[in-house]
Amino acid sequence: MPVVKVKDDHGKTMTLREVDGFYLPVIRVPYDQEKEFRDRTDWTARSDDVLICAYPKSGTHWVWEITCMLLNGNAERINLMKEMAMLECLSRSALDSMTSPRVLNTHMYYGQIPEDFKRKQCKIVYILRNPRDVAVSFFNHHTRLLDYEYSGDWQQYLPRFIEGKVDYGSWFDYVVDWEASMNRNQQNPAHVVTYEDLQKDSVNEVSRLASFLKTEGTETLYKEIAKQCNFQKMKKEKDPLEDTAEWKDDKPGMYRKGIVGDWKNWFTVAQSEVFNAVYKERLASVTLPVPYTI
């Protein structure tokens, strides 16, 4: 799994790992990342595992926190980073040592998830977010996290994002593939949530998720979980396990703004027109409620 410098049309490079043509972030782990990634195909699932699945910067951490609280039956944050429960960051031994119920997360495609999770029909929570806000958030992630070694500006970055020259590839390919995969595998329980609905009515979305997970809870618990998982609260409290040395100026950037519609502060009229045309063409077959207005 070589480390590669992926160049864009402006000559700017982004440091990524490549495995069989698929881009991953350069993940700091104390084991052979290539071996573990390739061996994941026969990893063993448990029937009560829950998988949080989303393209990067779509609200994975947010939904992961909520899900952990619902399964624990309380509104207390756990002393664990999302990355420590992320399939592409785990070794087999680390996965096997986790206590049940395991709330896992991934940015991989459906077809890349270990088959045992599908055979045992583990619950999947799939998150969607307006791709223009995803692009802006991912740009800030890529320019601030040192391992990417990326110095392009927004004008240079947007074509890269559209073309999928980033870790996990194209947002458009990801969303199209996930919908098609869920349609082909309807025996696997899946729950769809959008970042925007979580912002609009977090208590209702927590309640919907609780029903899907079949957890016992009350309206009071759902309100408390929504309060504890409020973006501004999580940003203020930060994550004590997050390594500030990985970020530019030693300032962690996992939590930035957490708002809906920040793309309007970044996209020019010309960029919006290009993005709208690509969206309309590439997502013509998608029927899920992607939060986007052309």
Express each pLDDT in 164-217 by its tens digit: 999 999 999 999 999 999 999 999 999 999 999 999 999 999 999 999 999 989
Contacts of 106 (CB under 8 A, 6+ apart): 51, 52, 53, 86, 87, 88, 112, 113
Pairing state between β 13-19 and 3-7: antiparallel
> Active-site residue among 107, 141, 142, 191?
107
Token couple for 284? 């013509």
Q: How much is the pLDDT for 239?
A: 53
Contact (CB, 8 A) for 170 and 131: no
233-291 pLDDT, tens digit per residue, is: 555 455 554 556 675 764 555 555 668 899 999 999 999 999 999 999 999 999 998 99
Q: How far apart are CA 145 and CA 257, in angstroms?
A: 16
CA separation (Å) from 259 to 59, 155, 174, 230?
11, 22, 22, 11
**Residue 26 binned pLDDT confidence (cut-offs 50, 70, 90):** confident
Q: Can you list the domains of the chain with their CATH numbers?
A: 3-282 (3.40.50.300)
Active-site residue flag, 10: no
115-128 pLDDT, tens digit per residue, is: 999 999 999 999 99
Q: Is residue 19's pLDDT more than 60?
A: yes
Q: Is residue 7's pLDDT more than 60?
A: yes
